[in-house]
Chain A
Amino acid sequence: MTFDFSLIANHLPLLLVGALVTIEITALSVAIGTMVGLFVGIAELSRYPWLRIPAKIYVDFIRGTPLLVQIFIIYFALPIVLGMRIEPFVAAVAACSINSGAYVAEIFRAGIQSIDKGQMEAGRSLGMSWGQTMIFIVIPQAFRRIIPQLGNEFIAMLKDSSLVSVIGFEELTRKGQLIIASTYGSLEIWSAVAIIYLVMTLSITRFVAYLEKRFH
């Protein structure tokens, strides 16, 4: 067995381009997912069934089916319904955002529920509406509390985004596959890909720990 370091060195720039794409798609998906998750999480707590029930169905459906199948549905099945092709980038971000939204919704729901009921009562007793109390009092406190879980979601999404390689979208994993197809360097390239993922996830862990400290 030989381990050819030059193979990694020669293809590192290409892998790093892939890593950047991975970060891009993850950041975009988690950002969209956080906005979706905030609204869905609040909807799950609504007293109106017409908000609560669809939110619950969305969360249950996404969390109960594999991300890989969700990617296939958006990239292969949805175009049949729409009658038009969907770009791999759009499909990848859509699938990851919709997926992330469901997990973030549960994080927000639990975070909001963890805030003492007295906070809502204090806001309401001052004449603020339910929405105002949520925006100015409950959500800011909930947000601080859920930073670690949002960080975990970011890390999970970063790793799971490797699944969009199956629709030919050239993020880090797909770049690795393509390099191996022309060099046969499975051992070297997959090792390099794994280490690049590891460096990214460890950096995020550190960053989240820093944020947590700053907010407390």
Chain B
Amino acid sequence: MIIIKDLHKSFGDKEILKGIDLHVKKSEVVVVIGPSGSGKSTMLRCVNYLEVPTSGSITLDGKTITREVNINTIRAEVGMVFQHFNLFPHMTVLQNIMLAPLKVRHMEETAAKQTALELLKRVGLESKADARPAELSGGQQQRVAIARALAMHPKIMLFDEPTSALDPEMVNEVLEVMKKLAESGMTMMVVTHEMGFARQVADRVLFMDEGRIIEQGSPEEVFTQPKEDRTKEFLSKIL
């Protein structure tokens, strides 16, 4: 589903990604962990070209992203959830979810609305359809953001530290939605510090440090029998 080959990314002289190779299968849930500055988010943002790779290639569902391929059509297939939600504050919750289906997929207004309401129900917020983002809690906003991404019927969902900006009591409601999504067979890449979620939901855990994938395996392997010293050191600090 996602094939990353020899991905490099530099900002100025600073090389953030130093050659990433990764193959994510359909319906696989890959959780990426690692210290801050290790390049986790940058890698995720390269997958939908919010950051343009310096070199290397990314293939999504058989389509290699190049300058010739219309990046917008590929992005429409890849949902992204951000740390700070990035809901559109001047629109209602419903309008937030309906915008891209209307403008990108050219859906009928009534069909788009029906889809949006179904998705809101799925994330448990059907009563908030007409609210503005500012009237919602952080956890509710993030659930709306997930619904907004799902409205495009993406084949892949990317989560960039989706619970890092939330108050602790709101983390679970977002993780629950993500867990249900994983169970429904969605292909997911999740950058997170929630180790409980990684253990429970991940098919594979990647540990990244200094722009490279240091170690990967099942949650069991990485968390209980890490092979690399850097993984051990990182896990000893956070577990």
Contacts and interface: CB of A to CB of B under 8 A. Distances in A.
Is this pair of chains taken from one and the same complex?
Answer: yes
Interface of A: 116, 118-119, 121-129, 132, 136-137, 140-141, 144
A199 to B, nearest CB: 34
Contact of B76 (A126, A137, A141): A126
Contacts of A141: 88-90
Nearest to A144: B90
B90 A126 contact: no
Interface of A: prevailing SS: helix
A132 B48 contact: no
A125 B78 CA distance: 7
Interface in B67-88: 72-73, 75-80, 82, 84, 86-88
A30 to B, nearest CB: 23
A119 B72 contact: no
Interface of B: 48, 50, 72-73, 75-80, 82, 84, 86-90, 99-100, 103-104, 145, 148-149, 152
Contact of A132 (B84, B103, B149): B103
A141 B90 CA distance: 7
A119 B88 contact: yes
Contacts of B78: 125
A122 B90 contact: no
A127 B90 contact: no
B86 A127 contact: no
Contacts of B48: 125
A121 B86 contact: yes
Contacts of A119: 86, 88
Contact of B72 (A121, A127, A136): A127
A123 B90 CA distance: 13
Given A127-B72, A128-B104, A144-B90, A121 B50 contact: yes
A136 B89 CA distance: 12
A136 B90 CA distance: 10
A121 B44 CA distance: 13
A125 B75 contact: yes
A126 B105 CA distance: 10
A141 B50 CA distance: 22
Contacts of B50: 121, 124-125
A128 B75 CA distance: 8
19 contacts: A116-B86, A118-B84, A118-B86, A119-B88, A121-B50, A121-B82, A121-B86, A122-B86, A125-B50, A125-B149, A126-B75, A126-B76, A126-B152, A127-B72, A127-B73, A127-B152, A128-B99, A136-B99, A141-B88
Given A121-B82, A136-B103, 9 more contacts: A118-B84, A121-B86, A122-B80, A124-B72, A126-B100, A126-B152, A127-B72, A127-B104, A137-B88
